Structure 1
Amino acid sequence: MNSLYFNGRITTMDPDLPECEAFCVQNGRVTYAGSEQGARAMLAGMPFRAIDLKGLRVLPGLIDAHAHLSAFSIEWSNLRLKGLTSLDEILGTVREKAETVPEGEWIRGSGYNHLTLRERRHPTRADLDRVAPRHPVMLTRTCGHIAAVNTEALKRAGVSLHESDPEGGRFDRNADGSLNGVLYDQAMSAVQTASVPGKEELKQWMEEGARVWAKAGITAVHDAGGIPGYFKVLAEAFHEGRIPQRIDAMVWNGLGVDQLSEFLSSHISTGFHRGDFYVGAAKIMMDGSSSGPTAATRSPYAIDPSFDGILYRSAEELRYWVKAAVDEGFQVTAHAVGDRAVSIAAEVIGELGHPDRRNRIEHCAMCPPDVRKVLVRNQITPVAQPGFLYEFGDGYVESYGWDRGAHMFPLKSWLDSGLAVAGSSDSPVTDFRPLSGIAAAVTRETVGGQILAESERISIREAIGLYTVNSARLVFAEHEMGRIGPGYRGNFVVLGDDILKLASGPQIRDCPVLMTVINDKPVWQDPSYFAVEL
């Protein structure tokens, strides 16, 4: 198929041709970008379809460098608790669900934030038993590192009411020492495993989740994994044609899930692929979440001087897994959020990793100057979630104090030091829309209206780069994705407003996506603007 796209304001992300008005695509690849006249000349004598871009802003296809399709799809197809403001609302939602599904079936929900609830606490086992005594219930906090469960869920998982705290996790308890149903990090593992949906059900949910992501302009994803057995199901769903995006799937080790050992024994590592489904980095969990908060910090939390987070493993244990992964040919990454975890991860990956593998650290949220120097020296790329600043920034200041909280995700400092920071959502943790992350990177404004470290703001073009060229580079696809130009895939997004001229966070965040195209095939189009034949 040959296609001509013309009459657009096309941001190419190519420094030699930052903007053009037209481009043509042949067999899924861009063969020309420039003037409409030049594009028509390229296709002269050949049949082609011509698509008028109506003077709209066009960006290269957006790439989310860290998201969880399985977890997002489960949230999207079950109870969505994001935005609820009280325990009564949450419990009412669970009660209604319990009235509509057979006894004994799992009730799953996610997205609540206890810090924004009127009661400022998690739902407890007693709360959930009251509204759903005959269904196992698991509600996951928006960060994905804390869950609230009922008695039936604990029974299904084989967890006793007086279970000891596991390494790398903990249970909240009642006055008599029994579990109150709030689980942190590794303590979630058994219930999480017990609650995994059936394979066909999960694939159906993934198909819908991928469709939702496409409507947000997402054309490729570095899938950060998570639930037991997800990798095989994700691969099957992709090869059945249910997922249109390119997938680079990380291989997980932590939170009770160890896919890495299986891959090490099978001698399959980063870059192995069938079609556009790739094995990504080996991902090793180091600490908790920034917003829980359970991130491992060098000094205690401002909100609790007796607590400095949860560190999942020692430097020696991390060294073991990093060496094993590196020896097998993996790109290596660590989930590291607090400065204590980030520092350990940077030193170990720097010591053992091969710089030419473009090693990374997921989140890397609390990154003081001394740690940044280690990243630069060892060419380790931070994978940031700018949207966290908007959704969780007020809590950061409360939990960690102004200096640490306001300087989370120091984007400008990273870019100025030569680090090609990649952008992501960590969906379903925060808003899955890349434009929401771009807005937060530009403004650093919180839900509460605070500006966090104004000096760390970046320009709109730099922010777009996080989700295009930089994310493509991390998976060795910088000559395939992230730009609109000859040789690149026909992946692009058409926006309803000119994002380069929008000033406020809400304007950028809510800028409509009118069409998403992957390999010259529209996977989403607003029918009031476009009717491109598939």
Structure 2
Amino acid sequence: MKPDLILHHGTVVTMNQNFEIAEAVAVKGGKILAIGSNDVILQYSTPQTQVIDLKEKTVTPGFIDAHQHMINFGFNLANVNCRKASIEEVVSVIKERAEASRPEEWIIGWGYDEAGFKENRSLHKDDFEGIPNPVYIMRYCHHAATVNDKALKLAGITNETTVDNGIIEKDDSGEVTGVLVEQGKSLVENVMPPYTKHQMKNAVKLANDQYIKDGITSVHEAGLGFFSDAFQEFDVLKEMKEEGTLNVRMYVMVLQEVFEEFLKTYSSYEWDYFIKIGSMKFFGDGTLSGKTAAVSQDFKSSPGEKGMLLYSFADLLERAKIAHSQNKQIAVHAIGDRAINQVLDVYEKLYKDDPKPNLRHRVEHSTVTDEAILARMKKLEAIPVPQPSLVYFAGDVYLENLNEPAVQNVFANKNFIDAGLKPAGSSDCPIIPSSPLLGMAVAMDRMTVNNHVFIPDQRVSLSEALSMYTINAAYASFEEDLKGSLEEGKLADMVVLPEGFLHFKPEKIKETEVDMTIIGGEIVYSKGTLKT
């Protein structure tokens, strides 16, 4: 045995079935060669082996984010950050970008949340009066946007314009406000200029670099085509992998509208452990914060409002058959319990009419559940894909918007685990920050941004939280034999964390920084705390 890399004198958290802890790990050809004691592993060292003394630091499997939008996140990093405390600040940063741009250029912002504005109101098109550029600002949830008059005119939106499965908000006088929800915002997105390949590569690189700093070694891209053109996005990712500018491994979902054509176009594509074609992706409903998620009970203080289903059962079923019949996984965005039950109805019908083994159909978000839903998910072997960090960022809003008992079953991670499910941890970045460590900490303490404990019964242990972002997430992409735990023969994707990490409390985990990220035995990020 002649390892390429040895890490020794650390706490190596294998995340295998017995949660075994080792001291050292050896890597050869991008895979785990051996794991064991310092004495055993160090004896394999040769003059050509890169040997790193961990100095008692902790090693875990590389983190996997099972639902995020890498391309979208990268563009957010390049566009205007509107995650501000006031409308005044949002207007200021938009004006600043506009003043540095040509009048015809679109000014694109992201991340605003009207719930946090000191003005106690939402953005309005008139806030951007005097700016000659078309302005488009995505709400943090990505299900709503605010635009200015110039953007409305370019999209042909008037006070008489209507849209299916969406909202064009109007004031009491019938005047369009500039707030567009769901398919309403698509009317503007359809007239925005397409991004160039160079811009896309730059955006992906920005996201890649942040992810490896967060210890993320693999991501599930939650919908190629969601941001621009699925085919162009995939080609960009492949080119970047070939050029060596993409480090993070990817399991890509493809929007259902182009899924069948996509499979035909890339029928000869060969997976090399870096970019894997995965699920067919749907959107089944909206969001809780925007009261567009399809729930079974009225939203609090909104009599008669139960959100929206984006498809009828029959329509969703017909579309889902395309993937199921080809033995492909299905992944549906379903937040409200009414939407989740509709998705499970579809999965149940698919399996009844066309039994297939081990397809692991997914329910993205799985936000509002109950005991009956979990029992159905277990029977169907469906995979919930929650975002624990959203409890921190939106937990207080959920309390405002949901009645009992729904609010008691939001991101019920402990219930998922107790029901025998395998919840896959994710961020939905750029909706919220990408950090898996933040996600684990919030899964453990359930604290909101305003320091409220949100449904403490759903707290999980650190080992359970780690499982969500490692072996469970690997299972969600059929890759549990390759990644998610540190075992001989698996990919050498690892994260180095501070000494004593397994004993950290949630508040300390939130402040923890990754020391080193290793993908395929290559150090792709280092904070410089270890000699390499």
Name the TM-score, length of structure 2 as normaliser.
Answer: 0.94
201, 204, 207: which is aligned to 1:203?
Answer: 201
- Quote how far apart the aligned CAs of 1:199 are: 2.3
Residue 171 of structure 1 is aligned with which of 168, 171, 192?
A: 168
Contact 1:172 1:180 (8 Å CA) reproduced? yes
Q: For residue 172 of structure 1, what is the amino acid of its counterpart?
A: E
Tell me the distance in 1 between the aligned counterparts of 2:137 and 2:62. 33
Structure 2 distance, partners of 1:415, 1:272, is 34
Cα shift at 1:291: 2.2
Gaps of 5+ in 2: none
Q: Given residue 479 of structure 1, which amino acid in structure 2 is its aligned partner?
A: D
Alignment of 1:398-437 (within 5 A): 398-401=400-403, 403-437=405-439
Q: Distance in 1 between matches of 2:266 and 2:476?
A: 22
Q: Which residue of 2 aligns with 1:93?
A: 93
Quote how far apart the aligned CAs of 1:384 are: 0.7
User: Could you say what the CA RMSD is over the residues aligned between the two structures, in angstroms?
Assistant: 1.9
In structure 2, C-alpha distance between the alignment counterparts of 1:242 and 1:367, rounded to whole Å: 40
Q: Which residue of 2 aligns with 1:193?
A: 190
Contact 1:355 1:380 in 2 (8 A): no
Q: Which region of structure 1 is more displaced relative to structure 2, 304-313 or 194-203?
A: 194-203
Post-superposition Cα deviations, 1:464-491, rounded to whole Å, max 9, x if no partner, equal 0000000011111111111112011111
Measure, in 2, the Cα distance between the counterparts of 1:231 and 1:394: 39
Query: Superposed, which structure 2 residues align to 1:457-472 within 5 Å?
Result: 457-472=459-474
How far off is 1:51 after superposition? Answer: 0.7
Q: CA deviation at 1:267?
A: 7.9
Partner Cα separation in structure 2 for residue 372 and residue 165 of structure 1: 38
Structure 1 unpaired stretches of 5+:
none
Give the letter for the 1:236 counterpart.
V
Please point out which of 242, 245, 249 is paired with 2:245: 242
Pairing partner for 2:394 from 392, 410, 414? 392
Letter matched to residue 151 of structure 1: D
Q: Which residue of 1 aligns with 2:211?
A: 213
Residues 272 and 466 (structure 1), Cα distance of their counterparts in 2 relative to 1, 3 Å cut: farther
Structure-1 residue corresponding to 2:306: 308
Structure-2 change in CA distance of 1:402 and 1:500 (3 Å): farther
1:331 to 307, 312, 329: 329
Aligned match of 1:380:
382
Distance of aligned partners of 1:303 and 1:118 in 2 relative to their CA distance in 1, 3 Å threshold:
farther
Q: Distance in 2 between matches of 1:307 and 1:324?
A: 32
Whole-Å separation in 2 of the counterparts to 1:460 and 1:236:
37
TM-score of the superposition, structure 1-length normalised?
0.93
Pair 1:232 & 2:221 matched: no
Question: Whole-Å Cα distance in 1 between the matches of residues 309 and 463 of structure 2?
Answer: 36
- Are the counterparts in 2 of residues 393 and 406 from structure 1 also a CA contact under 8 Å? no
Q: Secondary structure at the match of 1:513?
A: coil
Match of 1:360 in 2: 362
* Selected match of 1:162 from 140, 159, 162: 159
Listed one character per residue, the Cα deviations across residues 121-159 of structure 1 (whole Å, up to 9, x for unaligned) are: 32111112x152x11111111100010011222233x33
Equivalent residue letter for 2:424: A
The answer to whether the 8 A contact 1:264-1:328 is kept is: no
Matched AA of 1:242: T
Are the counterparts in 2 of residues 296 and 341 from structure 1 also a CA contact under 8 Å?
A: yes
Q: Is the 8 A contact 2:336 2:367 kept in 1?
A: yes
Paired amino acid for 1:437: G
CA distance in structure 1 between the aligned counterparts of 2:333 and 2:66, rounded to whole angstroms: 13
Aligned to 1:39: 41
Do the aligned residues in 2 keep the contact of 1:28 with 1:520 (CA within 8 Å)?
Answer: yes
| Aligned residues of 2:291 and 2:306 also touching (Cα < 8 A) | no
Determine if contact 2:53/2:531 at 8 Å carries over to the other structure. no
* Corresponding position: 1:12 with 2:20: no
Q: Cα distance, 1:343 vs. partner?
A: 0.6
SS at match of 2:90: helix
Which residue in 2 is equivalent to 1:262?
A: 261
Name the counterpart of 1:484. 486
- Within a 5 Å distance, the mapping from 1:74-85 to structure 2 comes to 74-82=75-83, 84-85=84-85
1:261 Cα deviation after fit: 4.4
Q: Give the percent of matched residue pairs that are identical in Structure 1 and Structure 2.
A: 30
Tell me which residue corresponds to 1:322.
320
Q: Which residue of structure 2 aligns with residue 148 of structure 1?
A: 146
The superposition leaves residues 25-45 of structure 1 with CA deviations (integer Å, 9 ceiling, x where unpaired) of 00111111110111123x255
Cα deviation for residue 231 of structure 1 reads 4.7
Q: Give the stretch that moved more between structures: 229-238 or 415-424.
A: 229-238
Question: Are positions 1:496 and 2:498 aligned together?
Answer: yes
Mark the CA change 1:17 to 1:329 in structure 2 (over 3 Å): closer, same or farther. closer
TM-aligned CA deviation for residue 243 of structure 1: 1.6
**Alpha-carbon separation, structure 2, partners of 1:439 and 1:264:** 38
Aligned to 1:57: 58
Match of 1:107, as an amino acid?
A: I
1:190 partner amino acid: L
* Alpha-carbon distance between aligned partners in 2 of 1:232 and 1:327, rounded to the nearest angstrom: 26
Distance 1:193 1:514 in 2: 42
CA contact (8 A) 2:297 2:403 kept: no
Q: Tell me how far apart the structure 2 counterparts of residues 26 and 261 of structure 1 sit (CA, whole Å).
A: 38
Aligned to 2:455: 453
